[in-house]
């Protein structure tokens, strides 16, 4: 029997990889996309099927996590075997600027889905995955962080996700819904949103290498993160819904690096050796040597990275490091792609785009360059 999955956030990084993964497994996949004034399906265009075709295996529905009747109607129509709740206002810094909206989407949005499952009498049929986050650990109480580590959220985003974590546990315990939390540490890819730190770095440096930008402005580059690849992590999201009993799992690599290290790797992928000097907001990165022809616009002595306090957060999560032992022992899951391999893949992809844009620019066409957050 063909299984049916419903993905909120299908147009995002994880949603796009998960949709690919489920289609390969033979699922019929339904996704919720938001109405936007421009097309917003770039990440899934390659798997899009014309709905006029007979029995398309990927179908999109307009919807929003703030809209109860819309979500209930979609779930009633789709009758999903599995719901993956990946939709969110997912940017931590933005959540300080839009805290109420973030709470509505990232907190109450989860309740709306769980209530719809209950209201429609699908408690025994529909399994539910909640995209929980290492941001729940925030001001860390224990290192490395595992399933039993106490939470201490440090942003409106993390507080909203804390509500979602517990309402997922509560609906499992109260109504017997197969519902679980994946507590995922940072995961990235060439499809990562351009304003998250890894992609901001790989895209920014590739643009600088090609002469499209002069300098990258960063926030707290001492922050430490446990970075994995999104492809490895969506596999785990599916595995969590295939067990006999629903449980919550930490998904991480167990390795930690600083933002500064990620900058150094990315620059090296472009043949740029950097030297960091100065302290705090006066720290800069200067080009020490250029060892390849991938960065024709850069020369020794150029300052290509500065600190801008605008990117500091009102409350920061300084360090995160996950312990994925439970996922390894119970599910046999281990990540296959290292942070360094992922960085190389991201830089290669962003360099391809930067070269294309440099060519367009040289012929007088406008290209997108600005980055915020």
Indicate which residues carry an active-site annotation.
Answer: 133, 135, 157
CB of 196 to ligand GDR, least distance (A): 4
Q: Which of 21, 94, 89, 105 is nearest to 58 (CA)?
A: 21
Does residue 115 bind ligand GDR (CB under 6 A)?
no
Q: Decide if residue 200 touches ligand GDR (CB under 6 A).
A: yes
Q: Could you tell me which residues come within 8 angstroms of residue 359 by beta carbon, excluding any fewer than 6 positions away?
A: none
Nearer to ligand NDP, 168 or 186 (CB): 186
DSSP assignment string, 282-298: G-EEEEEEE-STT-TT-
DSSP state of 106: I
Q: Does 220 bind ligand GDR (CB under 6 A)?
A: yes
With CB under 5 to 8 Å by kind, the binding choice for 9 among ligand GDR, ligand NDP, none is ligand NDP
Whose Cβ is closer to ligand GDR: residue 62's or residue 276's?
276
Instruction: List the single partner that 204 binds among ligand GDR, ligand NDP, none, CB under 5 to 8 Å by kind.
Output: none
The residue with tokens 């300098």 is 215
Please report how close the Cβ of residue 308 comes to ligand GDR at its closest, in angstroms.
Answer: 8
Is 223 among the residues that bind ligand GDR (CB under 6 A)? yes
Residues that bind ligand NDP (CB under 6 A): 8-9, 11-15, 32, 34, 36, 40, 64-66, 86-90, 105, 131, 133, 184, 186-187, 193
Least Cα distance to 319 among 198, 145, 156, 93 occurs for 145
- Both structure tokens of 171: 């609906």
Indicate which of ligand GDR, ligand NDP, none lies near residue 87 (CB less than 5 to 8 Å, by partner kind).
ligand NDP
| CB of 72 or CB of 340, closer to ligand GDR | 340
Number of Cβ within a 10 Å radius of residue 64: 18
Tell me the C-alpha distance between 316 and 28, whole Å: 40
The nearer residue to ligand GDR, 317 or 358, going by C-beta atoms, is 317
**Residue 200 tokens, joined:** 């901001």
CA distance 11 to 109: 17
CA 226 from chain center: how many Å?
A: 13
Q: Are 343 and 349 in contact (CB under 8 A)?
A: no
Binding residues vs ligand GDR (CB under 6 A): 90, 92-93, 133-135, 185-186, 195-197, 200, 218-221, 223, 225, 259, 311, 313, 316-317, 373
């Amino acid at each position: 029997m063909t299984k049916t999955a419903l993905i909120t956030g299908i147009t995002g990084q994880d949603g796009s990889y998960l949709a690919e993964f489920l289609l390969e497994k033979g699922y019929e996949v339904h996704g919720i996309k938001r109405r936007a004034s421009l097309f917003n399906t770039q990440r899934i265009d390659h798997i899009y099927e014309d709905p006029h075709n007979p029995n398309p295996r990927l179908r999109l529905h307009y919807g929003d996590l703030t809209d109860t009747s819309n979500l209930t109607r979609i779930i009633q129509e789709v009758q999903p075997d599995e719901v993956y709740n990946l939709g969110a206002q997912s940017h931590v810094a933005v959540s300080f600027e839009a805290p109420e909206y973030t709470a509505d989407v990232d907190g109450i949005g989860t309740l709306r889905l769980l209530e719809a499952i209950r209201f429609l009498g699908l408690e025994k049929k529909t399994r539910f995955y909640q995209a929980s986050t290492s941001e729940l650990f925030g001001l860390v109480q224990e290192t490395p962080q595992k399933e039993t580590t106490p939470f201490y959220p440090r942003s409106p985003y993390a507080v909203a996700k804390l509500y979602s974590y517990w309402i997922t546990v509560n609906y499992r315990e109260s109504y017997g819904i197969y519902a679980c939390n994946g507590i995922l540490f940072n995961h990235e890819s060439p499809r990562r949103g351009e304003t998250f730190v890894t992609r901001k770095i790989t895209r920014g440096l590739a643009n600088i290498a090609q002469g499209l930008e002069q300098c990258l402005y960063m926030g707290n580059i001492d922050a430490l993160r446990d970075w994995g690849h999104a492809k490895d992590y969506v596999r785990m999201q599916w595995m969590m819904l295939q067990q006999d009993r629903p449980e919550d799992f930490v998904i991480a690599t167990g390795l930690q690096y600083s933002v500064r290290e990620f900058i150094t790797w990315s620059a090296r992928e472009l043949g740029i050796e950097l030297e960091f000097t100065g302290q705090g907001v006066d720290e800069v990165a200067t080009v020490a040597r250029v060892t390849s022809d991938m960065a024709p616009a850069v020369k020794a002595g150029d300052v290509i990275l500065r600190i801008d306090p605008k990117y500091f957060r009102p409350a920061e999560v300084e360090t995160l490091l996950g312990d994925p032992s439970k996922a390894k022992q119970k599910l046999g899951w281990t990540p296959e792609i290292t942070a360094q391999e992922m960085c190389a893949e991201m830089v290669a992809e962003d360099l391809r785009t930067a070269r294309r844009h440099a060519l367009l620019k040289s012929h007088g066409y406008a290209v997108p360059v600005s980055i915020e957050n």
